[in-house]
Chain A
Amino acid sequence: MAPDPIPAAPVPASAVNRGGAGRFLRWDVLVTALLIAVFLGGASTSTGFASVDNLSFALGDLGEIALIALAMTLLVVAAEVDLSVASVLGLSSALVGALWDAGMAIETIIPLVVVVGMVCGLVNGLLVTRLGLPSLAVTIGTLALYRGLAYVVLGDRAVAQFPPGYVSLAVDNVPGTPIPYPVALFALLAVVTGVVLHATGAGRALFAIGAQEEAAFFAGIRVKRVKLVLFVLSGTVAAFAGVIYTLRYGSARADNGLGIELAVIAAVLLGGVDFDGGKGTLGGVIAGVLLIGLLRNLLMLNDVATEIQSIVTGLLLIVSVLTPRLAALVRRRRRAPAV
Chain B
Amino acid sequence: MSEAEASRPILALKGVSKSFGAVRALRDVSLELFGGEAHALAGENGAGKSTLVKTLAGVHRPDGGEILLDGEPVVFDGPAAAQAAGVAVIYQEPTLFPDLSVAENIFMGRQPRTGLRRIDRKAMRARTAALFQRLGVGLDPGQPARGLSIADQQLVEIAKALSRDARVLVMDEPTAALSGNEVARLFGVVEALREQGRAVLFISHRLDEIFELCQRVTTLRDGVRIAGEPVAGLTHEDLIRRMVGRDLGALYPGRQTAPGEVALKVERLTREGVFTDVSFEVRRGEIAALAGLVGAGRSEVARAVFGIDRFDAGKVTVNGARLPAASPTAAMAAGLALVPEDRRQQGLVMEMSIERNIGLTGLSSLRRGPVISRAAERARATDWALRLQLKFARLGDGVGVLSGGNQQKVVLAKWLATNPSVLIVDEPTRGIDVGTKAEVHRLLSELAGQGIAVLMISSDLPEVLGMADRVLVMHEGRLTAEIPRAAATEESVMAAATGRAA
Contacts and interface: CB of A to CB of B under 8 A. Distances in A.
Interface of A: 5, 7-9, 11, 15, 17, 19-20, 195, 199-201, 204-205, 207-208, 211-212, 214-222, 278-279, 335-339
A78 to B, nearest CB: 13
A208 B363 CA distance: 12
B352 interface: yes
Given A199-B371, A219-B360, A339 B51 contact: yes
Given A215-B345, A217-B308, A339-B23, 19 more contacts: A7-B374, A7-B378, A7-B396, A17-B394, A19-B396, A199-B372, A200-B372, A201-B366, A207-B352, A208-B360, A215-B349, A216-B349, A217-B328, A218-B338, A221-B363, A222-B329, A336-B20, A339-B20, A339-B51
Contacts of B356: 204
Contacts of A208: 349, 352, 360
Nearest to A202: B363
Given A19-B397, A205-B363, A214 B346 contact: yes
A215 B375 CA distance: 24
B181 interface: no
Nearest to B340: A218
B371 A195 contact: yes
A259 to B, nearest CB: 32
B367 to A, nearest CB: 6
A222 B372 CA distance: 18
B332 interface: yes
B229 interface: no
Given A7-B378, A17-B353, A201 B363 contact: yes
Contacts of A207: 349, 352
A220 B349 contact: no
A219 B353 contact: no
A17 B46 CA distance: 23
Nearest to A334: B21
A335 B372 contact: no
Contacts of B58: none
B317 to A, nearest CB: 19
B102 to A, nearest CB: 29
B180 interface: no
Contacts of A200: 367, 370-372
B370 A212 contact: no
A251 to B, nearest CB: 40
B25 interface: yes
A9 B367 contact: no
Contact of B21 (A204, A220, A336): A336
A133 B492 CA distance: 47
Contacts of B21: 335-336
Contacts of B395: 11
Interface string B394-432: 111110010000000000001000000000000000000
B48 interface: yes
B340 A11 contact: no
Given A199-B372, A339-B46, A215 B348 contact: yes
B432 to A, nearest CB: 16
- The residue in A214, A215, A216, A217 that gathers the most chain B C-beta atoms within 10 A of its C-beta is A215
A8 B396 CA distance: 13
8 contacts: A19-B398, A195-B370, A218-B340, A220-B331, A337-B20, A338-B20, A339-B25, A339-B48
Nearest to B329: A220
Interface of B: 20-21, 23, 25, 46, 48, 50-51, 223, 308, 328-329, 331-332, 338, 340, 345-353, 356, 359-361, 363-364, 366-367, 370-372, 374-375, 378, 394-398, 401, 414
B359 A211 contact: no
Contact of B375 (A9, A17, A204, A339): A9
- The residue in A11, A208, A279 that gathers the most chain B C-beta atoms within 10 A of its C-beta is A208
Contacts of B378: 7, 9
Contacts of B48: 339
Nearest to B347: A215
A335 B21 CA distance: 8
Contacts of A220: 328-329, 331-332, 361
Contacts of A216: 349, 360
B360 A204 contact: yes
A204 B48 CA distance: 35
A197 B372 CA distance: 11
B20 A218 contact: no
- The residue in A199, A200, A216, A220 that gathers the most chain B C-beta atoms within 10 A of its C-beta is A220
B414 A219 contact: yes
- The residue in A7, A9, A195 that gathers the most chain B C-beta atoms within 10 A of its C-beta is A7
Contacts of A336: 20-21
B361 A219 contact: yes
Contacts of B372: 199-201, 204
Nearest to B350: A212
Nearest to A199: B371
B348 A212 contact: yes
Contacts of B350: 211-212
B94 to A, nearest CB: 20
Given A11-B394, A200-B372, A205-B363, A20 B338 contact: no
A204 B359 contact: yes
Contact of B401 (A5, A9, A221, A338): A338
B308 A212 contact: no
A199 to B, nearest CB: 4
Contacts of B352: 20, 207-208, 211
B401 A15 contact: no
Contacts of B349: 207-208, 211-212, 215-216, 278
A222 B330 CA distance: 10
Nearest to A216: B349
B375 A218 contact: no
A72 to B, nearest CB: 21
Contact of B367 (A17, A201, A219): A201
Contact of A218 (B23, B50, B346): B346
A5 B352 CA distance: 12
- 4 closest A-B pairs (Cβ-Cβ)? A201-B363, A17-B396, A336-B20, A199-B371
Contacts of B366: 201
A66 B144 CA distance: 49
Contacts of B50: 339
A216 B344 CA distance: 12
Given A7-B378, A339-B20, A204 B363 contact: yes
B351 A279 contact: yes
Contacts of B345: 212, 214-215
- The residue in B340, B374, B397 that gathers the most chain A C-beta atoms within 10 A of its C-beta is B374
Contacts of B364: 201
Contacts of B370: 195, 200
A255 B394 CA distance: 53
